[in-house]
Chain A
Amino acid sequence: MEKKGLENGPIKLIQQMKSQTKSINPLTAFEDKRSVCAVLLMDIDVDRDAYGFAVRPQHLQRYREYANIYQEEEEERSDRWKTFLEQQADYSQLPINGTSSEKDNKELHAEATGQEINNGLEKGVEGDDISGEKPSSDILLENVTREEKQSATSTKTHRIQIWTEIRPSLHVIEDMMSLRIMRKGNQSKDQQDTKKERMVPSFEDAKSAKGASEEDSEDEFYDVERSDPNQDASSSDSASAPATGAADALSPESSFPWKEELEVLVRGGVPMALRGELWQAFVGVRTRRVEKYYQDLLASETNSGNHVDQQSDSNTKGSTADSVCVPEKWKGQIEKDLPRTFPGHPALDNDGRDALRRLLTAYARHNPAVGYCQAMNFFAALLLLLMPEENAFWALMGIIDDYFDGYYSEEMIESQVDQLVFEDLVRERFPKLGLLCS
């Protein structure tokens, strides 16, 4: 609706930035994309950065001046990562270019899930939202291959829903990081067997029906997480703290001799073209994923749809302490924040906002104890800029459930704790400044 005229620029720009990092890209599937875009490289008016965010006018000139340097640095990074990943591929003899099976997979998922989602999704959406034909949702789909793009017009919803595996060369990293998830799952399984008996069964049924044996542990882990909002803080403390601390010990240098090298690389920055996939690898998206879970979360909208519509206009304020009882109380706040998330960013047009709505809604249903908390909209939108929608869901879940456990719950307890710790640190390290916080 707004700023349509800007749409092409930034998207091309993003693709163009990727093309600059072509050297790292071991997937031949990406070759075509970049040759198409590389042409457009120089004549774009750079008023947005590589991620499509508007550069503030006062920074614009500097941004342009430094553009070449940024580009060189990015190429350097890309080369380093490329070398690293190639080494890993040699070690583990992963078929770097063997992606055909994955593509098949993707298309399968799209076929299987696209249709049923439609019903649930379009419900809460205004009429003109659906009609938006703008192709700028491409930005959400940067990992999608060329074939899919060609069939894009007819199967738009399918594309948006798609789940895409990250490139195989990152699997070793993902495997290492996933140890953490597995362990955490097992731990909570052992510790909290009693607790999970009390849990709300809503999505449990759907999940356990589908979950493979490998995924059982994490199922239970997540169920425990959302089983009891009151115990959220304490249980998360006991569950996550040791697991996080033990992560290092868990990945012995012997199994991952390259771990240190990876750390250095991460500190040096992640090249843009790899960022979305690397984040997924680090969060362990593939290990977390339960097939159809995301789609089922969204589909459940049809059941509770009536409550939802009633509530949509009313303020979140109705939501006092009686948190979990009121269904979908987060909806009003999500709707308020959709247009207030990266406003003006070309990717957050109607399609983009629909995706963001689905993502936040699905997360809220996955973890009602948290529901929706402002700030998650920015996490979610950033993830959508970098990966396909369902991937973004699992990444968001990993980030909020694990890394920010307790942060965004109704009490925001961890967030408060962190601020107090920070205040203490300031007092200790910067006493003069600390005096001001008294």
Chain B
Amino acid sequence: MGHRVDHEYDYLFKIVLIGDSGVGKSNILSMFTRNEFCLESKSTIGVEFATRTLQVDGKTVKAQIWDTAGQERYRAITSAYYRGAVGALLVYDITKRQTFDNVQRWLRELRDHADSNIVIMMAGNKSDLKHLRAVQEEDGHALAEKEGLSFLETSALEGTNIEKAFQTILTEIYHIISKKALAAQEAAATSTVPGQGTTINVADASGNTSKGCCST
């Protein structure tokens, strides 16, 4: 689905997948990018990434998703990859309370290392394991509201809400960017505003268009 030749996209958005070890980050990624789920997946070492190109509000968006190792000590490594990310999917496991309690720590991690405008979606994964549930959906909603995050419960295994989670993030990012672009146009700024740097950089990194996916 959505396979295209590289460069055939309007926007490139970098998104990071974070959360405790074993919550299902890699499977969310493989589900979204390859429609695959693997019960016997391997531990992620450091970072890995995959991409998928899809339509968002009529625009072709390439999502470049960075999957990270969940073990605590890897944060020193993985946080370096937050740079340039415009979105984050923060995953916890609804069957493991601890992974939900740690969401705060991950948010701090993002505040410390990522762009302050990063769009964050919290995902309570493994919603198929109803009998093992340890975190109520309301708790997820409450936390999300308090922290100003989007929230969904997902199941990589069943494919529930995976598509929707990414669509939501990407759409929100796109809206922010087009709003900025509009503002920039209206202001008729003489040069690009540094505050928009993150997004611009990402688009640059694609080697595709030069500056200005959002400033022109």
Contact = CB atoms under 8 A, between A and B. Distances in A.
A416 interface: yes
B73 A410 contact: yes
Chain A interface size band reads 20 to 34
Contacts, number: 74
Contacts of B102: 315, 317
A336 B26 CA distance: 14
B98 A416 contact: no
Contacts of B40: 2, 339-340, 343-344
B98 A314 contact: yes
A39 interface: no
B124 interface: no
A337 B73 contact: no
A104 B46 CA distance: 44
A325 interface: no
Interface string A362-386: 0000000000011101100000000
Contacts of A373: 71, 73
A287 B46 CA distance: 33
Nearest to A320: B72
B20 A377 contact: no
A411 B98 contact: no
A344 B39 CA distance: 10
B1 interface: no
B77 A415 contact: yes
Contact of A342 (B42, B69, B201): B42
A322 to B, nearest CB: 12
B202 to A, nearest CB: 10
Interface of B: 20-22, 38, 40-46, 69, 71-74, 76-77, 80, 96, 98-99, 101-102, 105, 201, 204-205, 207
25 contacts: A2-B40, A314-B98, A315-B98, A317-B20, A317-B72, A320-B72, A333-B21, A333-B71, A336-B21, A340-B40, A341-B42, A343-B40, A343-B42, A374-B45, A374-B71, A374-B74, A375-B43, A375-B46, A408-B73, A411-B73, A411-B76, A412-B73, A412-B76, A416-B76, A436-B205
Given A375-B46, A412-B74, 20 more contacts: A2-B40, A314-B98, A315-B21, A315-B96, A315-B98, A316-B71, A317-B102, A333-B71, A339-B40, A343-B40, A373-B71, A373-B73, A374-B21, A374-B45, A374-B71, A375-B43, A375-B45, A411-B76, A415-B77, A416-B77
